[in-house]
Structure 1
Amino acid sequence: MTSVWVHPRLGEVTLSQSIRARRVSISVRATGLVRLSFPRGVSQKRALAFLDEKAEWIEAARERLARKRAALPPQLSPAEQKAHVEELRRAARADLPGRIARLSEATGLKYEKLTIRASRTKWGSCSGRNHISLSLFLMTLPEHLRDYVIIHELCHTVHHNHSPRFHALVDRLVGGNEKALNRELRAFTIR
Structure 2
Amino acid sequence: MAAAPAPGATAASPGAGAAPPAPAAPGAPGANAATEFRNRLVTELALSPAQVEKVDAIYADARPKFATLRDLPAEERPKARDRIMADIRARIGDVLTPEQKPKYAALVAQAASRQNTRGRIYLLGEDGKPVAYNVRLGITDGTSTELIVPAGSPEAPVLKEGAVVITGTVTPGSAPPKPATTGPRMPF
State the TM bucket, normalised to the shorter chain.
Answer: under 0.3
Q: Normalized per residue, which structure has more strand?
A: 1
Give TM-score, length-normalised by structure 1.
Answer: 0.23
Structure 2-normalised TM-score? 0.23
Q: Which structure ranks higher in relative contact order (CA pairs < 8 Å, sequence separation ≥ 6)?
A: 1
